[in-house]
Homo-oligomer: A and B are copies of this chain.
Amino acid sequence: MLSLTGHNYIGGERRAAGTVEHKSLDASSGEALPYTFIQATPEEVDAAAQAAAAAYPTYRNLSVVRRAEFLEAIADEIDALGDDFVALVCRETALPAARIQGERSRTSGQMRLFAKVLRRGDFYGARIDRALPDRQPLPRPDLRQYQIGVGPVAVFGASNFPLAFSTAGGDTASALAAGCPVVFKAHSGHMATAECVADAVIRAAEKTGMPKGVFNMIFGGGVGEILVKHPAIQAVGFTGSLKGGRALCDMAAARPQPIPVFAEMSSVNPVIVLPGALQARGVTVAKELAGSVVLGCGQFCTNPGLIIGIRSAEFSEFVAGLADAIGAQPAQTMLNAGTLRSYANGVAQLKGHAKVSHLAGNEQAGNQAQPQLFKADVSMLLEGDHLLQEEVFGPTSIVVEVADSAELTRALQSMHGQLTATLIAEREDLSAFRDLLPLLEVKAGRVLLNGYPTGVEVCDSMVHGGPYPATSDARGTSVGTLAIHRFLRPVCYQNYPDEVLPEALQNANPLGIQRLVDGVHSRDALN
C-alpha cells in the first residue's frame, strides 16, 4: 500500500488545517480505500492561489530551456510511477491496467511534446517591426511583440482520464509550458491517484529548481468555486459536464475582473454513414462503430453518441448489425457511482421518450453500465430536442434515419457545436455529398473521414475543442500543442534597447527561433 497524507499542496508545503474529510472509493466495489483527504479550507485555497501568484514572476521569466527541463523531469517521474500506482488508479477508476499504462505514457509523452514546443520557440509568436526614423509623415518606432503567460491558472481534472486530463494532464502541461503556475483541483473520483501524480510533479519541481508554488493542488468539495473567484487566478482549464463547466464560465464572467475559461463539456460526436460506404462495407462499419461506442465503457468525450444515415435497405441492415454488435457487448464498471447514476438516468430518459425506440441492450440495472442502442425520430433533431443534443456519458448511441440528402443537411444544421464530426464515406459519397464537408467543419473542432472519433492523438495538428456546448470557447483546444495558446497573451515593446529586450526579441536572435521581421519570416540575426 502506498503511503499518502491526503494533505493539500500549497507553495511547496503540505497543509491540512481543515476538518472536512473525503475518502477515496474503490470504483468496482464502492468500498472506501484506506486513504483520507482533508478538504482545503478557504484560507488554504487562498494560500494556494497566492503561492501560484508568488511563483509567477520567477517562473514566467525562466528560460524556455529551464521550463522544458521541468516538463521533462515531470515526464520522467510519471514514467517511474510503478505497478503499485497503476493498481491504485485501477481501483479508483475501474479502468483496466493496460489502459492506465497507456495513459501514463500518453501523459508523459504530452509533457515531452510541450518541452519540444518550448525549444522550438514558435509559441513565442515573435514579431519585429524595426524603426523607420525617416518615414513620412511620422517616423515609426521600433516595435517588437511576443507572448507571455497570462498568470496563475486553475485546472479542474476530468474523471475519465485520471492521468492524461488530470493532475499532470494536458491543461496543466500547457499552462506550465506557457509559464503559468497551476492550482489544480483534485477530482473526487481519484484523489489517491492525484496525490501520487502531484508528488511526481513536486519531485520534478525540486529536482529542476523551480520556484515553490509553481504547482499546487487542493482537495475537497466547493473549493473550486473559491479558486475560480480568486483575484490571482487568470484563466481556467476544465474538462467535465456541461452543467459544471457552464457554472464555472458564469462565475468567471461575473468576477470584477472576468477571466477566460476553457471548458471542454458536452458533445454527441455525430457519425454520418453514407450510402456508398454502407454498400461497400456496412457490416465492418457496424462492428467497428460498436467497438468505438463501448470502448472504455463509452467514457470518452469523443464517444460517438449519434449515428445518422439515409433511409435504405442497406441502412436498415447496417442498423440491425450495429444493434447485434452492441447487444452482444458485456456490461462494464463505470468510473464511479455518480457516473453510473447519470448514465442510468440518461438511458431512462431515452427509454421514456415517445419518439425514441430501444434497439439493443440489456435492462440497465445493478452496478455496471449496460451498452445500449436507441433510434430517435429525426424530428427530434430538427426541432432541437435537448435529448439528442446532450451527451449521455457512457456506452450508448442513438441512430437517426433521415429521408434524403436534403433532410440530412437540415439535421446537421440543427446540431449544436461538437468536438468531432465523422463521415463514413466512399470516394463516390464524397462527390455526391460534397456540401456536407463545409457544414461539418462549422459544427465541430475535428472532422474525420473513415475513422472513429474515440482516440485523440496528442500532436501539433490536433483540435480537441469546438463550438459551444462542446467547449466554452471554440478558439481553444485542450489536446495538442496549440493548447498552449489559451494561456498566452501578447506584449509589445516599443523602443526598448536590445539589452533589456527578452532574448526572443533581441537582434542577435540568441534563441535561434523563427520570427516575423518586417513582415517576413526569418531566423536571421538583425543588425
Contacts and interface: CB of A to CB of B under 8 A. Distances in A.
Interface of A: 57, 61, 102, 116, 120, 122, 125, 127-129, 137-138, 140-141, 143-145, 148, 150-151, 249-250, 253-254, 257-258, 260, 416-417, 427, 430, 434, 437-439, 441-442, 444-451, 455, 457, 459-463, 465, 467-469, 472-475, 477, 480, 482, 488-497, 500, 514, 516, 519, 521
Given A250-B253, A492-B445, A457 B129 contact: yes
A49 to B, nearest CB: 16
Contacts of A140: 457, 459
- Most chain-B CB neighbours within 10 Å: which of A445, A457, A516? A457
Contacts of A128: 461
Nearest to A105: B137
A461 B491 contact: no
B127 A474 contact: no
Contacts of A447: 491-494, 496
Nearest to A125: B482
Contact of A450 (B120, B145, B495, B514): B495
Contacts of A427: 497
A79 to B, nearest CB: 16
The 5 closest A-B pairs by CB, nearest first: A253-B253, A463-B492, A143-B461, A145-B461, A448-B494
B490 A143 contact: no
14 contacts: A57-B439, A61-B438, A143-B459, A148-B441, A258-B468, A444-B491, A446-B491, A446-B493, A448-B495, A449-B495, A450-B495, A451-B494, A463-B492, A465-B489
Contact of A437 (B463, B467, B500): B500
B61 A462 contact: no
Contact of A258 (B102, B249, B257, B465): B249
Contacts of A492: 445-447, 461-463, 480
Contacts of A494: 446-449, 451
Nearest to A441: B491
A74 to B, nearest CB: 20
A401 B444 CA distance: 54
Given A457-B141, A459-B143, A449 B129 contact: no
Contacts of A150: 474-475
Contacts of A459: 129, 140, 143
B462 A475 contact: no
A491 B475 contact: no
Given A144-B461, A253-B254, A257-B468, 16 more contacts: A125-B482, A127-B460, A129-B460, A129-B461, A145-B460, A150-B475, A249-B253, A257-B417, A427-B497, A446-B492, A446-B493, A449-B494, A449-B500, A463-B492, A465-B490, A514-B521
Contact of A491 (B137, B445, B489): B445
Given A495-B448, A495-B450, A475 B460 contact: no
A490 B477 contact: yes
Contacts of A122: 516, 521
Contacts of A434: 500
Nearest to A427: B497
